[in-house]
Structure 1
Amino acid sequence: MTWVVLLLFSLGIPAAYSRSHTLQYDVTLVSAPTPGVPQFSIIVYVDGVPYGRYNSDIGRAEAFISISSLPFSSLLTVSEHMQQQTKLAQEYEIAHRQRLDFLMGIFNMTNDNGDTHIYQTKNACELHDDGTIGGYQEIAIDGKEILVYDKERVVFKPVTHEAVMMSHLWNERYDSTYTEIFMEIDCIEHMKMYLPYISTDLEKKVSPNVQISSSESESGTNLHCSGYGFYPRDVEVKWIKNGRDEIHSEEAAQILPNPDGTYQIRVSVGVTPEEGATYSCHIDHSSLENPLVVPFEPNKRSIWYIIIPVSAALLLLLLIILGVFIYRKRMTKDPKGSHQRVGTG
């Protein structure tokens, strides 16, 4: 079996490229069936843009590009092409399952008592703007990276001390020459095929929508700046105090994907409100000519949440004072009245 990377969705249109590009394959394999999660999946990215996929649930290779965008001459071969990729993906699943079994045996892992283990590999090639070629491959088990491909020595080397002995067994068992061939030949050829089909997506830019909110905590006020619906992925979001001082967030902000292919992010900071201080969220994105500056305006309702309880407390205090005053007034007029008994005749 030839270990070529799968999901070869393109049909070979040559093109010239003026900047660096990356083609990446993310492979995930789960050791036991898990509800809602395919046991095996591959997702293909070109310059960070999802391009195609295969997983054991759908059982076939799929391209994310629109069929209508293909040249007419290519439409006739699409069906046969996808069938070929489906067959390769199924063979690739068998190969990776054998590798997962090998790793589970080395690390003495089992699926007993409902335990589930996850094998992941990330394969990529890079075509730089000066014509040179790079790439990488990483292998992880249960979210912990254990092996990385050494392009110069054409072997996999361990990332952790526990993986040293395993790396020797791995290199004896699996020929790294296939990784080298994929990275330097197959992957680069595939990339050149794919790029024309997603050139529109690579050039697409969608400006972020921004929403500002706040919440109260024991330590003060938390300010939240949410940017959503933007594309491409790279974005900078930060909070600024008094128009000049950046407020560093203690919470790591993650850029998350949306179902429509755009992205979202939320940056939160904790502040202690000061009289006269201003706060604003600054968003910089390639779709914008100038960074967006969105000021934080305290929610008027939150002010009422403070005013109403305070007013109620003051009213209660006034009623108590008034009651005491009336009681003392009556006692002054008739100090014995409260102790007299009514006679029976």
Structure 2
Amino acid sequence: MAWILFLLFSLDLSAVYCRSHTLHFHITLASAPIPGLSQYSIIMYMDGVQYARYNSDIRRAQFYSASLNPLSEHLDMQTKYAQAFEVWQRHRLNFLMGVFNTTNGEGHIHVYQRKSACELHDDGTIGGYQDIAFDGKEFLVFDKETAVYIPSTQEAVMVSHLWNKHYDSTDSKMFIEIDCIKHMKLYLLYISNDLEKKVPPNVKISSSESESGTKLHCLVYGFYPRDVKVKWIKNETDEIYSEESAEIRPNPDGTYQIRVSVEVTPEEGATYSCHVDHRSLENILVVPFVPVESNKKNILYIIIPVGSALLVLLIVLGVFIYRKVPSGHQSVSTEDGD
């Protein structure tokens, strides 16, 4: 069976491509359930922007862009292929666990990852690659010219021989050079405008008190495309890692938002800032956190000088008015009193 993740229509896909494009498929499969994560997932990226996904929790392929909504029937077919592909990848994970003589005992969970990509260059030529990792270590790379998997490390030499013997790599070559390219051209017909669109993010900083200290919140919203990197930095150099899982969520207007929160124990003289990196920005956006006490002090620093200036102004104005009053008026008032 051909290595096809999604079914493609038999269309004459002719379009003009003004620049190079890359279509990625990232596949992850765990040997046992992991709390908070899908045991099996497929994520599709076009030029680094996430456009579709499938996972073992929802068991349906989903588009992230409304521009692809006309492909609803196509999406149903993609779901069927993604479900079938999940079975094939479980077989490969079990194969690797057998080769490496590993089990799920003592709480160990093993992870199989597969990354495939095809490239369509602006001159019409195509390229691509595929690599496979086990427990976070890449060990097989697909050689598209010879249509075999070659080892990335010395310990993977034996595994590469067994892998090429058990699995027909012709399907991988067909996917990279034919199916993936057709796939890309189909999507480009619908999302070419999306790929050029860039909307810079807005950032709002806030804080709240917690049992262990202070919680800093960085809300980044109204940005496009979807991919963004948000992190908290202490004293301009030290990254603060969040224990909470931050998820990018869609907005009704087609943009996205994300909130990243961290727990900190405020220290005298320490500074905190939220750093945002997005394709729409020429430089990383740095937004400092200003404690409420500092805001109050700043307000006092403003109020006191302004109040003093107003007081001086009133005194000067009073003296000026007093000097302008004619002396005759004062004499009349005295005579009337007699």
TM-score by length of 1: 0.64
Q: How does 1:80-99 map to 2 (within 5 A)?
A: 81-99=74-92
Aligned counterparts, 1:145-224, within 5 A? 145-211=138-204
Offset, 1:300: 3.7
The alignment partner of 2:249 has SS state of coil
- SS of the counterpart of 2:97? helix
Q: C-alpha distance in 1, partners of 2:31/2:272?
A: 49
Change (3 A) 1:10 1:272: farther
In the other structure, the counterpart of 2:136 is 143
Give the whole-Å Cα distance in 1 for the aligned partners of 2:97 and 2:65: 37
Q: Deviations over 1:265-315 (max 9, x none)?
A: 98x9xx9969xxx999997865458986767767644997xxxxxxxxxxx
Provide the rounded CA distance (Å) in 2 between the counterparts of 1:128 and 1:165: 35
Q: Kindly tell me: are residues 264 and 104 of structure 1, through their superposed partners in 2, closer, same or farther at Cα, counting changes over 3 Å? A: same
Judging changes above 3 Å, is the alpha-carbon distance between structure 1 residues 236 and 118 closer, same or farther for their aligned structure 2 residues?
closer
With the length of structure 2 as denominator, give the TM-score of the two structures. 0.65
Asked if 1:258 corresponds to 2:248, the answer is yes
**Contact preservation (8 Å) 1:65, 1:197:** no
Report the Cα distance in structure 2 between the residues aligned to 1:63 and 1:133, rounded to whole angstroms: 25
Structure 1 residues 129 and 111: alpha-carbon distance in aligned structure 2, compared to 1, 3 A threshold: same
CA positional deviation for 1:64 = 3.2
Give the Cα–Cα distance (whole angstroms) in 1 for the partners of residues 204 and 69 of structure 2: 35
Gaps of 5+ in 1: 215-223, 242-246, 305-345
AA of the residue aligned to 1:203: E
Counterparts of 1:154 and 1:40 in 2: how far apart (Å)? 26
Q: 1:265 to 1:141 in 2, by over 3 A?
A: farther
Cα shift at 1:252 = 9.2
Identify if the C-alpha distance between structure 1 residues 37 and 9 changes in structure 2 by more than 3 Å, giving closer, same or farther. Answer: farther
Larger CA deviation: 126-135 vs 155-164: 155-164
Matched residue type, 2:160: S
User: Unmatched 5+ residue regions in structure 2?
Assistant: 208-215, 298-338
Q: Whole-Å Cα distance in 1 between the matches of residues 9 and 248 of structure 2?
A: 23
Alignment-mate amino acid for residue 182 of structure 1: F
After TM superposition, give the deviation of residue 154 of structure 1 in Å. Answer: 2.6
**Per the alignment, in what secondary structure is the counterpart of residue 120 of structure 1?**
strand
1:108 aligns with 2:130: no
Question: RMSD of the alignment, in Å?
Answer: 4.5
Match of 1:26 in 2: 26
* Cα distance in structure 2, aligned partners of 1:59 and 1:178: 24
Q: How many residues align?
A: 285
- Pick closer, same or farther for the CA change 1:203–1:296 going to 2, 3 Å: same
Alpha-carbon separation, structure 2, partners of 1:176 and 1:141: 18
Partner of residue 39, structure 2: 39
In structure 1, what residue type is equivalent to 2:85?
Y
AA aligned opposite 2:113: Q
> Kindly, what percent of the aligned residue pairs are identical?
55
Mapped contact 1:127–1:188 kept (Cα < 8 A): yes
Distance 2:122 2:24 in 1: 17
- The residue type paired with residue 6 of structure 1 is F
Q: Is the 8 A contact 2:20 2:119 kept in 1?
A: yes
Superimposed CA distance per residue, residues 193-243 of structure 1 (whole angstroms, 9 cap, x where no aligned partner): 0112222321222212235689xxxxxxxxx9957233334789999x9xx
Kept in 2: contact 1:208–1:227 (CA 8 A) = no
* AA aligned opposite 2:95: F
CA contact (8 A) 1:231 1:263 kept: no
1:61 equivalent in structure 2: 61
Q: Give the whole-Å Cα distance in 2 for the aligned partners of 1:134 and 1:206.
A: 30
Q: Show the counterpart of 1:122.
A: 115
State whether residues 119 and 140 of structure 1, in contact with CA within 8 Å, keep that contact through their aligned partners in structure 2.
yes
Alignment partner, residue 325 of structure 1 = none
* d(CA) in 2 for partners of 1:15, 1:109: 49
